[in-house]
Amino acid sequence: MSKFVCNWNCTNHDNDDEAKDKDDDLNVRESKKNTNFAHYDKEEWSKIVTSGEIPYLDPDLFSYDEFFSNFLLKNMPCMFSPKLTSSWLSCRDWIRKGEAGAEIDFEYLLRVYGDAKVSAVNCGDDEYREGYGTRDCREMLFKEYVDYWKDYIHSGYSSTKPCLYLKDWHIVRYHKMCDEPHSELPYTTPLYFQSDWLNEDCDRNDIEDFKFCYMGPKGSFTSFHADVYGSYSWSANVIGVKKWYLYPPGTEMKFKGSGKMKYDWENPGAPGRDYIEVIQNAGECLFVPSGWHHVVWNLVDTISINHNWFNGANVCYIWKILQDAFGDVERELEEFHHIPEFKQQCQLVLKANHGMHYEGFVEILKSVYASRRKVNAFSNTDHIQYDIDAISHVIRDHCEFPEVVSWLSDELLRTELT
């Protein structure tokens, strides 16, 4: 057993007959999804919302174990001081001294990334603002984006020009793919975020990862959302300032009328809509817990590094979100339920809509399990044991795939880890 107390509770009540009867009502269904958090101490979330502040941590004084127990397991946000990023190449080389303080070194960035392919969204687009994806997503070369950005700054951020936000750039993958001499990575993942099953799996299979660089002018923003698959995220500012509105799980329901979620831009904190406002300065790094909705504003020209990830501490939540998404697909395609391959077809739609299906999820669990049994993948034995226990727990809950459960039983028999 690991010394860390587990918080697993994977039973998905979506399968209950009684619950199915009520499923016609979207709001009932959505509030049922909130039971995904039943095993967390919501009191703790309310306390920090009431205090209006999140813990500010000095990495020299804060161990991984403390972060694991106090933030990952409790699903609570926190901010790390700039000491966490002070050794990053990007925090040194992407910035230069200007007349009014630190400024972006566009010339350096152009030399290294000029020909990289990037995409930028138009923050003025209504669809983007409403958080439903956008058709106005522009593919361009990095040098074209810099030309635009410089011009936008020069115009005094003119409201007659579009506000374009360069998002979701897989910069680590760019370094891996190009054989230019500038292969030194712009940052290293801080220890606190290194137990990362999602990116571990992407790296192992050489597929697109969840490690991003964001660059945007003053006024650019990311709409109201919770992160992909229910993952955690961390976000570090290389330069600039972000303002975050963080909503504890469940409070996003306050933005629902009948049907779709609608964020209230004029009044993000009307009574009952509990949130914390967080200012993130240059070098600081924010931990965003699973299922916390958020809106993010760049208050000045800002560059950040952001990862999405999950591990043993939130894997049950990821599994529940996946089951909920599968339930949604089944309901959408209900008229075809008599077709013999109905479930398999729903899995394919799940993969297309959600980005992951059951099989993909199990593959991640299996490969993390195998690597944890080699022990030295992540050196702390308590955390290795925690990961192994978490995977066993989720897989046992995975009754739709008896062959996976029997794979686990075989593996457990072979496990000699004490």
Ligand X SMILES: O=C(O)CCC(=O)C(=O)O
60 CB-contact burial (10 Å; exposed 0-12 / middle 13-18 / buried 19+): exposed
Which amino acid makes up residue 111? R
DSSP 265-306: SS-TT-TT---EEEEE-TT-EEEE-TT-EEEEEESSSEEEEE
Site for ligand X in 218-237 (CB under 6 A): 222, 227, 233, 235
- Decide if 230 contacts 317 (C-beta within 8 A): yes
Q: Is there binding between residue 252 and ligand X (CB under 6 A)?
A: no
- 227 near Fe ion (CB under 5 A): yes
Q: In what order do the strands lie in the sheet with 242-247?
A: 221-225, 293-298, 242-247, 276-280
Q: Which is nearer to ligand X, 145 or 326 (CB)?
A: 145
Question: Could you give the CA distance from residue 104 to residue 193 in angstroms, rounded to a whole number?
Answer: 26
Smallest gap, in angstroms, from Cβ of residue 107 to ligand X? 24
Closest contact distance (angstroms) between CB of 212 and ligand X is: 8
353-360: list long-range contacts, CB under 8 Å, 24+ apart.
353/325, 353/329, 354/229, 354/322, 354/325, 355/228, 355/229, 356/229, 356/322, 357/322, 358/322, 358/326, 358/398, 358/400, 358/401
Cα(398)–Cα(409) distance, integer angstroms: 13
- Residue 73 touching ligand X (CB under 6 A): no
Residue of the chain from 12, 75, 223, 306 that contacts ligand X (CB under 6 A): 306
User: Rounded to 10 degrees, what is the CA torsion of 263, 305, 322, 276?
Assistant: -40
Residue 311 interacts with ligand X (CB under 6 A): yes or no:
no
Contact track, ligand X, 183-222, x by CB under 6 A: -------------------------------x-------x
Using the minimum distance from each CB to ligand X, give the nearer residue, 148 or 287: 287
Min. distance of Cβ 246 from Fe ion in angstroms?
Answer: 10
C-beta closer to ligand X: residue 4 or 244: 244
Name the minimum Å distance from CB 271 to ligand X. 25
Q: Does 90 bind ligand X (CB under 6 A)?
A: no
State the minimum distance, in angstroms, from the CB of residue 341 to Fe ion.
Answer: 35
Looking at 288, 362, 384, 404, which residue binds ligand X (CB under 6 A)?
288
Q: How far is the CB of 241 from ligand X (least distance, A)?
A: 11
Residues lying near ligand X in the complex (CB under 6 A) are found at 214, 222, 227, 233, 235, 242, 288, 294, 296, 304, 306
Residues lying near Fe ion in the complex (CB under 5 A) are found at 227
